[in-house]
A and B are shown apart, each in its own frame.
Chain A
């Protein structure tokens, strides 16, 4: 494995190996000494052109805990704000012979493009509305920690599908692991062309959240309404969105009575009161903080599998 650009790059064995490694890394985090010497002498650049709290900091911690040197470059503080092109920026970084570039960019496909330009390993940490593969891995890790093997488990992904890279990567990884995936969104937020993907990959489409919850899924993943990416009227008012597709207190109750063991995920940051109520976000069945804590372990696993044995392929 040289790059991690899309969840579709990962077969079932790859995902299994990454999750197994992540479990061991999670164990290391409970120790007094969290640092491993594994990636000593390697350099990881976090190149972030979009705002991020958890992804960037967890990649940085993951690198540091494995003794890699990690350096953060943000779009705002770099020469891109002086007009430098993405290609020149990454070529400059690559010329410093770094081992790994973790990139987040607002353009879909940016990570694929960067991978063509550089010698370093490239990790896609979110490209526009396309993919976010490490998020899908940590979601799978978190759900498996609570639910056990996801094979045959039913997962509902709810909300702003059109603008969600998290959903795209999650749907792929969950299918790779054998879970049954139902996508729930208002018709205006269903991405165009989803019907053919759903047919090809065995995804179920729905627009009635109450019916899906009444069916008692094992996990409900609420997506953030990405208002910064919206340029038109996808729904009349926030209030109306909440009534139709928010995980309200009443819906939480309906879910719990249909399946008492059901868990709730949200990739964060949450719009409390819009797509998820405070009751649901803070419920015992909510995995939101577990997801953050798994983030570092999963990213350690990714960096390990990309960088540890690299010389053989280089």
Chain B
């Protein structure tokens, strides 16, 4: 994807239709993650039994950052893993085939743990539905919670997030893009653009369903 500022020549009206608009800068992302980390330990009354599972690709980077913040705050190492949901998607037939990403579960497993799923954008809820299915094949957590950087609405399933970095009202046709240092070559940001909807399939790059 082209960078936001590539599409927005100097002097252009930032409110012009089609121009990507930055809704979170790198410091905003950092602050949101710090607040989420505080919420997680507050809700859990400490870091005991917590396991963070990031959903590839950007959820993995976010879960690592949350893990580092929790360690800094609580002084205890919180296990961080990765949960790939490719094989559990319900729209495989409508998408070009893509190779699955790794699933890495921390050595302690997920049985009787409090698992916090971490993703970048919460949209239809179908990714999280798939993640819950994938998780149930790996064990039986005591509780499963969901942390997302952006909740853009338009849920298609009865799923909600426990910890949200930013609630972002969007139109169906808009595209939300998350760019993270360590994953993307571009400047860290969350942008929103009036996008071409692809036959009702919103899960573009960075705009996971």
* Interface positions of A (Cβ within 8 A of B): 1, 17, 20-21, 24-25, 27-28, 31, 33, 35-38, 66, 304-305, 308-312
Contacts and interface: CB of A to CB of B under 8 A. Distances in A.
Given A36-B88, A311-B93, A17 B137 contact: no
Contact of B97 (A20, A31, A305): A305
Contacts of A28: 103
Contact of B133 (A25, A37, A66): A37
Contact of B88 (A24, A37, A312): A37
Contacts of B97: 1, 304-305, 308-309
Interface string B104-142: 000000000000000000000000000001000110000
Contacts, number: 50
Dominant secondary structure at the B interface: loop
B1 interface: no
B88 A308 contact: no
Nearest to B104: A27
Given A308-B92, A309-B92, A24 B100 contact: yes
8 contacts: A24-B101, A24-B102, A33-B137, A37-B87, A38-B87, A66-B87, A309-B93, A310-B93
B92 A24 contact: no
A27 to B, nearest CB: 7
Interface residues of B, number: 17
Nearest to B96: A309
B45 interface: no
A312 B96 contact: yes
Contacts of A312: 93-96
B99 A21 contact: yes
Nearest to A309: B97
A196 B138 CA distance: 52
Contacts of B92: 38, 308-309
Q: Give 10 closest A-B pairs by Cβ, nearest first.
A: A309-B97, A33-B137, A311-B93, A38-B87, A24-B100, A36-B87, A308-B92, A21-B99, A20-B99, A17-B99
Contacts of A27: 102-103
Given A21-B99, A37-B87, A304-B97, 15 more contacts: A20-B100, A21-B100, A25-B100, A33-B138, A35-B137, A36-B87, A37-B133, A38-B87, A304-B87, A308-B92, A309-B93, A311-B93, A311-B94, A312-B93, A312-B94
Contacts of B61: none
A25 B84 CA distance: 12
